[in-house]
Structure formats: C-alpha cells, structure tokens
Structure 1
Amino acid sequence: MPNSIQIAQHWLTDADAILVTASNGLSISEGLNLFAQDAKLHQVLGDLADKYPLSNLLTALSYHYPDPLDQWRAYARITEYYSHNYHSSSLMTTLKHLLGNKPTYFWTSNIDHHFDLAGFQNTFEIEGNWLSGVCREHPQKHGTVDLSAQLHQIYLKDQAGTLTLADRPTCDQCGAPLVLNLAGEAFQADKTRAHGFTDFLQTYQNQKLLVLELGIGPQNQLIKAPSMQLVADAPHSHYLTINKGQLYIPDNIIDRAIGFSSTIDQAFHALTTGQAQGLQIEGPTQPHPQLTPQQQAKQEQAAQPFLPFYMVNQGIRPGELTMYLTIDAQHPAHFHFVERGQAWMYSMGDAVVAHCFTQEGKYYQVQLGLDKTKDQVHGFYVEAGTFIAFEHLTGDGAGFSQISGNIPPQDKGQLMVPKPDALIKLFPEQRALIERLAVTTPTH
C-alpha cells in the first residue's frame, strides 16, 4: 500500500489543475517575517527603527508618521530590500518543478508580490501588495497604480539625501496623495485577477483539483476556511497542507487530505524525492463511520446525564459543529473530561457557573452571563485536560440557561467521565461539589 508521500506525489501528477494558497509561512521561508523584531529590522529600516516605535515591519507599514517623507522612506526601504532586490528563491524553483505545466492559480494573503516577481502568472493577492498604490481621495473611481518605479526612485533619493515633498506619489487624475494599496479603508482588489480566479474555480472545481497550501496556520481563516470548504464540496479534489508545528485538517476532508508538519523546503524535498526522512505527516485517514440510528440513540442516552438537553448545528469553520446546551436547576451538566480545547459562550436565560478542575490540581469557576458587576463573562476557553461541569444560576427568573460550545474538529463524540472517588482524592476541599455533580457510574 502506498505511503503518504507516494499518495501526495500521485495527487500532484494526477491533478487536472492546482490551486496554490499561501500566507505568512511562505514569506518566512523566503526570509521575510513581518512580525519579527530583530537586527534585520534595523538593517531594512535604518534610522527609522530608532526614530519611531516600530516593533516590526507590519507596524512600519501601518504607522502614522508625523513626517510624510518618513512614511515614504519606510515604504521605499522595505520594498527595495524585499521586492526590488528580490531574486527567485530555490523554494520557488522547486515549486515550479512540482507544478509542472498544469493549469495553476495562486491565491495569497501575502503582500510582498513574490509570486509575480518569481515569474508565476495567475495570482490573486487578496490583501493587495506593497508595490501598488491607490488614490486616497477617490480609491474606487481612480483605480490603482503600479508604484514599483516610483518607490525605487524614492529609495535612491532617500539614500542620496535629496528626497523632497515633491517626490511623494500623487494621483495623476486629481493630484491627491497616493497610499499603498493594502487591506484597509482605501483598498481596491484587482477585479481582473479576481474574475480570473473565479473563472479558474468554476472551470476546475468539478475536476481533479489539488489545493496546495503553503504556510497557513489554523488561526488564519481568510483563505484556509474557504479553500477547505471548496475541497469538502468537490468530491474529486484533494488537499495538501504544509505548516510547521500546527496542522488543521477538518474531519469532512480527512480522507482526501495530507498534512506536512515541517518547513516548506523539507516538504518540497520529500515530494520531489519521495523520501519522508522522518517528517511528521498526517493522512489521508479514513473518515469515522456513521452511527446507525440505534447506536446514535444509545450514545444520546449515555450522554444525557452530562449534556441533558442539547442540539448541534453546523459551525462557522468547515467540519466544526456548535453545541447548544440547555440546563436548569434539576438538570445540570455533570462532570466530564475535556479532551480537546473548547470555547463556551453564554446564549440566553439565567447565568451559568462552570466548575473546572485541571490536571495540575487547580480548581476554578467561571460565571457565564451578562452581569459584569457579578464578574460574569460572555465566554471563555477551556483548556484540554480539564474536568468540567455546568450549573444553572438563579437570575432574572428565566428558569433555564443556554450556552453554546464548539465541538472541536476530529472529535469522535465520546465522553470520558471521571471516577468521583479519584476526583475527590485530588480535590478533597471540593468534596461536596464533586459528590453533587459527578455521576457514580462512569459512562464511556
């Protein structure tokens, strides 16, 4: 049976088209880290890094400079270093080899313009790029401008000490100042590229489309969520994700997805040579079998002491579900084990108290509700490895409480229940609470 590397190689060669998605992880692999505060920041920005509180390049791009010349000095120094002097990296060379001559589109939130500078076509930069400008006063009406040459000239004059206010880029239609065309109030998406991207998806979404995701972390949902949903809705598609240390593959595509928890260079080497070399690789995995109606009824009966009245709806993220839990004075949610981190939110009714016991021996409680004078919060996050129970609190007389919690991706729907004696031994001072909210006979 082929291993994950061989399967991934087959998906690449067998694909009718490839959608490459990319974010910060790819930029960092090429030496551009927008979030780093290090010696390189001073190397790029020079005296501006000492003159202003610029913690990283992202701050330098968004900072409100009191001197408009310093603003363009910062823009020009950044783009000169990372774009004007850009030479296609070995990573981009390998990517060209992996893609071959297949129809390809590039969908990225990176603003460095590196795909275009490396010679790729069909790119859609969803948050713009720093070589493009837009009229500050009439962004929609006057369109965007290529600032590559002007930024280079600003850099040269900055270095020569001859930069003046007259060198600032202005709109050739109205004379208003230009601003970088990056995500913000004046941002204008490239409609031509957006239409090309839409046409590409419409052409290939029902064929063998491969999504190759480069350096997009689980928290970055701008591109990740819709691309995963695309795969979920297209049964002939596949999904390769590369992100060191953090992989997220939702349950509804695990049989058509492979994840590399590695650097992009390491994953590309494996895909090129067929050698995993100890890389951490996940998938593809067979989906969990669906429960029969009888099995589902048995599971719900077993869960009732812990989740007395609940319903489950589709969550915001692909493959994620949201549980709405309703409790009252006679029906608390008894202690159970949180295997994966969970977020819980107040929905309606009276306030709720969450009793939490951690494996580090700590007990704490959180009140979910709307009354801040009673230290109630609208939502909180439960760390994995916590025993938790919920109780309804008398409040405005509703007589019930409803809260909502996310069901983590790849959750199997199993409840792990603590033995009361073991819990009391760990937390003897909370004996009365545990005896009230623990179930004597564990249920799995």
Structure 2
Amino acid sequence: MLFKNTTTREDGKAKKNRWLRNAIETADAVLIGAGAGLSASAGMTYSGERFERLFPDFIRAYHFPDMYSAGFYPYDTPEEHWGYWSRYIYHNRYEEHDRKLYETLLELVGHKDYFVITTNVDHQFQLSGFDKKRLFYTQGDYGLWQCSKPCCSKTWDNEAAVRRMAAEQKNRRVPSALLPHCPVCGAPMTMNLRCDNTFVQDEGWYAAHSRYEGFIRQHKNARLLLLELGVGSNTPVIIKYPFWQMTAENPRAAYACINLGEAACPQGMAKQSVCIDGDIGKVLSEVKNSRCTEAEVV
C-alpha cells in the first residue's frame, strides 16, 4: 500500500517544506534522484506550445503530437532524420535555458556531500554548476553520438556537428555532406540513448556508475536523505524502488518525494518520509525560504 501524505492546506504545505529543509540540513549526505518531471518543471516540456513553436514544419508534415513521437518516426531519408534530431538536440541540450530551478537545488544541497542519479539526458545539472564527478546519467546524453552497429564502446561529442546541422538545414533536411558516420567503421551514427540493446556504456558511463555505487556504500548506514524529484512510473527500478529499499533498510535515512500528481511512498516507511504533490521548482523555492522549528526536527 502506498502512502500519500499530501495536503492542500497552506499550513500543511509549510510544515512539509520545513521538514524537508531540516532533513537537508541535518543529513550527512544527500542522494538526489531526478526524472522527467524535473525537466518539465524547469520548462523543458516536450509537447504543447514549446513543441509547436520549435517544430511547426514537422507538425504540418506529419501531425506529430509531441517531440518523443517525432523522434521515433521512420523518416524516408537520413537527411530528414537528422534534420529533426539536430534541431531536437540543439533545443534540448545546447540552447540556453532558465536554470533557476537547478541553481536553487544546488544552493540547497551544494554544501553537503551530495550525488545525483538521473534518467534525464538533457545535461542540465552539469550546465547549472553541479560537479560532474557527482553525476550519473544512466540513460545517455543528448550531447553524445555512438556507432549504430555498434562496432565499439566509444561515444563522440556532437555539439559542433549539431549546431551546424541545425543552422544549415532546409525543408526539414540537413545537407548530405553533414550526415554523421562512425570514425571507426564508417557506419551511420546514432544517439547515445538507452532505447534498445545497442546502447553504448562507454568509459565515462562506467566511471560514473562506480562513483554512484561508492557513494551508496559510503553512506549505507549514515543519516542519508534520499531526495526524489519528478520520477514517474516508467522506469521505477532505476531510482524509485532502490530509493525506497535504501530508506527501508536504514532507520537513520529520510526520504522525500516531490512530484506533481505522483508523490507517494510505501506505507511502511511513512514515518521517515514526506511526499509533496506540487511543481518542483515552486516547492524547492519555498523549501529554500523555509525555517524549521525545534519541534519539527526529523
């Protein structure tokens, strides 16, 4: 049975915010798990007005409902495939965005021993000042390409190529001369995203995974705050279930879930937890400005 200690009363919300602020301040370490809801709260939405503004030509041609659907479409030519994907990568990885949400989060946890595991691939944590040695992008990175076969366990930065593709495309297509090919075997490049069993886990991926496991081992029995932000139910085995398990196994741990419409935890760990149903950016701003009273110490 899941526990949802959500409330619409302002005093209840304020108490939860103070609980979370105190949990951060009294923690030995903070483990952040971030999902798609965090990107959405920061304005990185993949449907609606933003999609319509950035991809009007693709919508007119194919009537796509959102960016994800358009990304999986079997385009007739590689020129049109990369016409879509270069624009997609540029706007979701390299274009400047308002990073106030991430900056607020870093202000809250930056003075702590923290680590971030995320299924997001938009690189916003590192772009916002988070230490790259404290980040584990489990599902890939929009900024990396890999061989489509793949012939090797390597990835390549794509920024220069993507910027040129986005600038020079016409009629939804990039020039044929700009199509990316693997430097090792010559096969077409593809995105380094975990979509199937061809996903390449390169040296950087394994190094980050090792640091993540080391962080967990170091703080297994410590006063650890597990802060889950915008993690849905699509891939719960990566963040949500492990966070629940770590909390249940450690009586000194605290668990906080902030998610619009999906804030819950198992009933058995309710006393160690707070679930806040709301916009992540707004909640974090309120938490930053809150002050805990002695009676609310975790």
TM bucket (normalised to shorter chain) is 0.7 to 0.9
SS at match of 1:21: strand
The alpha-carbon deviation at position 269 of structure 1 amounts to 2.4
2-structure distance, mates of 1:45, 1:71: 13
SS at match of 2:146: strand
- Are 1:167 and 2:188 counterparts? no
2-structure distance, mates of 1:95, 1:214: 10
- Are 1:236 and 2:242 counterparts? no
1-structure distance, mates of 2:228, 2:164: 36
Residue from 100, 111, 119 that aligns with 1:90: 100
SS at match of 2:227: strand
User: RCO higher in 1 or 2 (8 Å CA, sep ≥ 6)?
Assistant: 2
Contact 2:148 2:198 in 1 (8 A): yes
SS at match of 2:169: helix
2-structure distance, mates of 1:197, 1:18: 12
Partner of residue 114, structure 2 = 104
Contact 2:260 2:279 in 1 (8 A): yes
- Are 1:43 and 2:53 counterparts? yes
TM-score normalized by structure 2?
0.84
Contact 1:87 1:118 in 2 (8 A): no
- Are 1:263 and 2:268 counterparts? no
Aligned residues: CA RMSD: 2.5
Name the amino acid aligned to 2:182.
Answer: C
Q: Deviations over 1:216-248 (max 9, x none)?
A: 235651321111112112222111110122321
- Are 1:253 and 2:269 counterparts? yes
SS at match of 1:77: helix
Name the amino acid aligned to 2:41.
Answer: S
The alpha-carbon deviation at position 172 of structure 1 amounts to 0.9
Higher percent of residues as helix: 2
Name the amino acid aligned to 1:157.
Answer: E
Partner of residue 127, structure 1 = 139
1-structure distance, mates of 2:281, 2:200: 33
Q: Deviations over 1:125-164 (max 9, x none)?
A: 221122111111225x242111122111111121699932
Partner of residue 9, structure 2 = none
The alpha-carbon deviation at position 85 of structure 1 amounts to 1.3
Residue from 129, 137, 140 that aligns with 2:149: 137
Partner of residue 208, structure 2 = 193
Name the amino acid aligned to 1:186.
Answer: T
SS at match of 2:156: strand
- Are 1:17 and 2:32 counterparts? no
Contact 2:104 2:284 in 1 (8 A): yes
1:46 to 1:15, Cα distance in 2 relative to 1, 3 A: same
2-structure distance, mates of 1:125, 1:149: 21
SS at match of 2:76: coil
Partner of residue 377, structure 1 = none
Q: Deviations over 1:165-185 (max 9, x none)?
A: 221111111111110011123
Name the amino acid aligned to 2:221.
Answer: N
4+ long deviations beyond 4 Å: 159-162
1:8 to 1:176, Cα distance in 2 relative to 1, 3 A: same
- Are 1:79 and 2:95 counterparts? no
Contact 1:132 1:147 in 2 (8 A): yes
- Are 1:63 and 2:63 counterparts? no
2-structure distance, mates of 1:148, 1:99: 30
Q: Deviations over 1:51-96 (max 9, x none)?
A: 2242211112222211111111111111222221123521111111
Extract unaligned runs of 5+ from structure 2: 1-13
1:161 to 1:248, Cα distance in 2 relative to 1, 3 A: closer
Residue from 220, 223, 230 that aligns with 1:208: 223
2-structure distance, mates of 1:67, 1:46: 19
Partner of residue 162, structure 2 = 151
TM-score normalized by structure 1?
0.58
Extract unaligned runs of 5+ from structure 1: 277-282, 286-444
Aligned residues: 275
Name the amino acid aligned to 2:219.
Answer: Y
- Which of the two has higher C-alpha Rg? 1
Q: Deviations over 1:259-289 (max 9, x none)?
A: 111111221122112279xxxxxx999xxxx
